[in-house]
Amino acid sequence: MDIFLHALAESLSWQSVAATFFGAIVGLVFGAIPGLTYSMALAMVLPITFTMSNTPAIAMLLGTYIGGMTGGAVSAILIGVPGTPSAAATVLDGEKMARQGKASIAIGIATISGCIGGVLSLMVMLVSVDALARVAISFGPAEITALVVFGLSTICGLSGGSLVKGLIGGVIGLMLMNIGQDPIDAVPRFTFGFTTMLQGVDLLVAMIGLFAVPHVVSVLATYWRGKELHIQTGDVRTEMPSFRLLISQKWNFLRSAAIGTIVGAIPGTGGPIAAFLAYDQAKRWSKTPETFGKGEVAGVVAPEASNHAVTGGAMIPLIGLGIPGDPATAIILGGLLIHGIQPGPLLFMEKPDVISSIYILFVLAYAITTLIQLFGVRVFVKALSIPPHLMAIGILVMCVIGSFAIRNSLFDVGVMCIVGFIAYWLIKAQIPVTPILLGLVLGPTLERESRTALIMSEGDMSIFVTSGPALAFWVLAVVIVAGQFIASMRERKAARTALAKPNEPAAIQETTA
Q: How far apart are CA 260 and CA 250, in angstroms?
A: 15
Query: Which residues lie closer than 8 Å to 397 by C-beta, 6 or more apart?
Result: none
pLDDT value of residue 155: 64
Identity of the amino acid at 114: G
Give the pLDDT confidence of 434-454 residue by residue, as tens digits.
778 777 877 887 888 888 888
Half-sphere exposure of 272 (CA within 13 A, CB side): 24
From first to last of its 513 residues, the chain has per-residue pLDDT tens of 677 788 888 888 888 899 999 988 888 887 777 656 677 778 778 778 878 888 898 899 899 888 888 888 887 887 777 777 778 788 888 888 888 878 778 888 888 888 888 888 888 777 766 665 566 667 788 888 887 787 777 666 555 556 777 788 888 888 888 888 887 777 888 888 888 888 888 877 887 788 778 878 887 888 887 766 555 544 445 567 778 888 888 888 888 888 888 887 776 566 777 888 888 888 888 888 888 888 888 888 888 888 888 888 888 777 776 666 666 777 787 788 778 887 766 677 777 788 888 888 888 988 898 888 877 766 766 665 677 778 778 778 877 887 887 788 888 888 888 988 888 888 888 787 777 877 787 788 788 888 888 888 888 888 888 888 888 888 888 887 777 777 667 767 776 776 666 544 444 444 444
pLDDT value of residue 18: 92
Beta bridge partners of 188: 181
pLDDT value of residue 180: 85
52 C-beta neighbours (distance < 10 Å), count: 17
Dihedral (Cα; 68, 74, 410, 331), 10-degree rounding: 10
- Burial bucket for residue 263 (CB in 10 Å: 0-12, 13-18, 19+): buried
Identity of the amino acid at 180: G
Query: Which residues lie closer than 8 Å to 205 by C-beta, 6 or more apart?
Result: 35, 403, 406, 412, 415, 416, 419
How far is C-alpha 223 from the geometric centre of its chain's CA atoms?
A: 31
Q: How far apart are CA 310 and CA 38, in angstroms?
A: 14
As a whole number of Å, the CA-based R_g of the chain is: 24
Question: Per-residue DSSP letters for 384-435?
Answer: GGS-HHHHHHHHHHHHHHHHHHHHT-HHHHHHHHHHHHHHHHHHHTT--SHH
Identity of the amino acid at 90: T
Query: Which residues lie closer than 8 Å to 374 by C-beta, 6 or more apart?
Result: 108, 111, 238, 240
Going by C-alpha positions, the residue among 373, 406, 308 that lies closest to residue 35 is 406
3-state secondary structure 294-356: CCCCHHHHHHHHHHHHHHHHHHHHHHHHCCCCCHHHHHHHHHHHHCCCCCCHHHHHHCHHHHH
Q: How far apart are CA 235 and CA 83, in angstroms?
A: 26
CA angle centred on 407, ends 325 and 196, rounded to 5°? 115
Give the pLDDT confidence of 70-105 residue by residue, as tens digits.
888 887 887 777 777 778 788 888 888 888 878 778
Going by C-alpha positions, the residue among 10, 250, 20 that lies closest to residue 120 is 250
pLDDT value of residue 21: 92
How far is C-alpha 118 from the geometric centre of its chain's CA atoms?
A: 14
Going by C-alpha positions, the residue among 250, 373, 257, 267 that lies closest to residue 304 is 257
Phi/psi for 385 (5° steps) reads -80, -10
